[in-house]
A and B are shown apart, each in its own frame.
Chain A
Amino acid sequence: MVELRGCDPPKNLDEYRDVFVYVQHKNGKIERGSLEMLGMGRELADKLDEKLVGIMVGSDLSKVAEEAANYNCDTVIGIESPDLKTFSSVPFSHFISETVEDYKPNIFLLSGTREGRDLVSRIAIRCNTGVAADCIELDADKQNRLLIAWRPSFGDKTIDQILCRKHRPQMITSRPGSYKLPEKNRRKEVKIDIRKVKVPDKMKTVRVVEFRPKETLDLTTAKTVVSGGFGLGKPEGFKYVEDLAKELDGVVGASRPVVDLGWIPYDHQVGQTGRTVRPHLYVAAGISGKIQHLVGMKDSEFIVSINTDPDAEIVKYSDFYIHGNLYDALPKLTEEIRKRKSGSKNKV
């Protein structure tokens, strides 16, 4: 029988203080979105006159905890055991929840990576609190010590404000890439508290048998993204997309149909079910601009589209629109940029 219970709120909300940030890390490196949350966490903590606490889990934390301490933390809590070397939902959520119940933070921020999303719901249910997922904007109401979280919904057609008035901690996951990276700054009085724990055998059921790394393609941090869509008509068309991307020192993106067709790996997909990008320059070749694609790229600084159809939706979202066949336009654009580059070299 499953034990059921309602989400009972705590009696005394004032007991809950300080801002927790989950610091995800791998091979001694802190995940980018967690750094963003440390930056955001500091801002919220300052607004509320609270402390910033980084919390991490792993097998050998001393170095990476030192690194987290460089981002304006007041405290870094590490939960350490040789059995916590690789991520596993049950033990990770167990130890984090225990720490949360013991410390009673007011706010708890997690980067919305696959690991963050995997963990957050279990922690929230254990701690009897709610979560706002995939937030793109955060603010605090000092008087009520309330976290004000904004998250997009329905393919970004609206942005909803999510509040968790009666339960603590107030938890969110962020959409990675939506916040500034903080500057490094170490506080004089920072405390690093590594706690050794013992993982019960019944929590050691998930075994990682293999890891096949893939070439990491970081679409989210690229300055230029050149994407190809169904208008390419054939997989070989990506050659022209790649040529332009190379000339602009950018990376190749794609719409979903060409990924589904296997013309290019999933990692390149931009959109609702792919990556959200906001590069300086986004080029969309043979992409119609359906809402699910737009939500993944519409916040780019400059958008150039290439399309045979002047009524395509993407045109309304473009700063510059090339009316024509991408098989003519892409090579010409690449060639023209190459010419300018060699021209500028000649001048020097």
Chain B
Amino acid sequence: MALKIVVLIKQVPDAEEIFIDPVKFTLNRSQARGIINPADENAIEAALKIKDETGAEITVLTMGPPAAETALIECMGRGVDKGILITDRVFAAADTWATSLTLAAAFNIMDDFDIIFAGESTTDSGTGHVGPGVAEFLGIDQVTYSVNTKVEGKNVIVERSLEDGIEVVNVPMPVLITTLIGSNMPRRSTLRMKIDALKKGITVMDHEKLKLPPEWVGIKGSPTVVGSLKIPDEKKREGKKYEVEEIPKLVDDLIEKGAIKIGDA
């Protein structure tokens, strides 16, 4: 029997295109292009590599607005078999608790699975909590910050990148694995497979289908709330310009301002 893998992905606004409205002091995200969260790119690739080697059936799962469908189609264009979109107005403004719950609920509808991949964190909220949160609801093991995953029988051997080294762990499936950003080179989709994906379509689920009461999810089901927002004070920097010939003068200035210390002075 082929392995069953689920990959959790999120569409995020491209950080370079977000700007702050200087009058209303709010973030303008609407104009930013949606991209697949960078760490999730690596999660998808990790799953596809296992499919290349041992064969596997891969499902990508996302909770987001209807427009997130494009991210699912992109994944299917790379070799993912199925796409599921969880979308409903009541899910809006969910924190990581409510997001984890909502994603976990989808596993009551899907078939059994062997591995779930998630990214280490997202660039728009960047907590890294959703992967472990889903694992907690499902009551399964987790391995975070992976750079490499190998399947061996009923177990996986995962290399985790920690602050002080690489830890190699052996864990039985089912397991949730989060992937480190940059841990592999994501492949590109092909137009042909994307067209096939569009023909095949994706599955859509809402709160009724997931049997989730509205007060459990979205902003209502979220224990944390965002209070006020502030714009960080930027230190004013002079940007004093020196040509290469003026480096001796620069060094004088660096010493005078205390940026570098020469001797014990």
Contact = CB atoms under 8 A, between A and B. Distances in A.
Contacts of B171: 205-207
A121 B263 CA distance: 49
A81 interface: no
B97 A124 contact: yes
Contact of B142 (A89, A126, A318): A89
B128 A117 contact: yes
Interface string A190-217: 0000000000000001111111111010
B interface, how many residues as a size bin? 35 or more
B181 interface: yes
A160 B242 contact: no
B27 A158 contact: yes
Contact of B144 (A114, A205, A299, A333): A114
B250 interface: yes
A297 to B, nearest CB: 12
B18 A157 contact: yes
A212 B167 CA distance: 6
Contacts of A259: 182
A320 B239 CA distance: 5
Given A118-B132, A207-B169, A208-B168, A2 B137 contact: yes
Interface string B227-256: 111111011011111111001101101110
A122 interface: yes
A89 B262 CA distance: 48
Contacts of A90: 141-142
Contact of B263 (A5, A209, A212, A348): A348
Secondary structure of the A side of the interface? mixed
Contacts, number: 285
Interface stretch (B55-63, B70-78, B81-89, B213-221): B213-221
Interface in A70-122: 89-90, 93, 113-115, 117-122
B189 interface: no
A43 B170 CA distance: 41
Contact of B166 (A9, A158, A161, A214): A214
A161 B263 contact: no
A206 B141 CA distance: 8
Contacts of B250: 304, 320, 322, 333
B251 A273 contact: no
Contact of A153 (B125, B161, B265): B125
Contacts of B20: 157-158
A132 B224 CA distance: 7
A35 B12 CA distance: 34
Given A4-B216, A159-B231, A266-B161, 10 more contacts: A9-B223, A130-B222, A158-B231, A158-B232, A159-B230, A162-B224, A162-B226, A207-B169, A322-B247, A336-B248
11 contacts: A2-B137, A7-B97, A121-B129, A121-B132, A130-B96, A209-B157, A298-B234, A318-B239, A319-B240, A337-B260, A344-B265
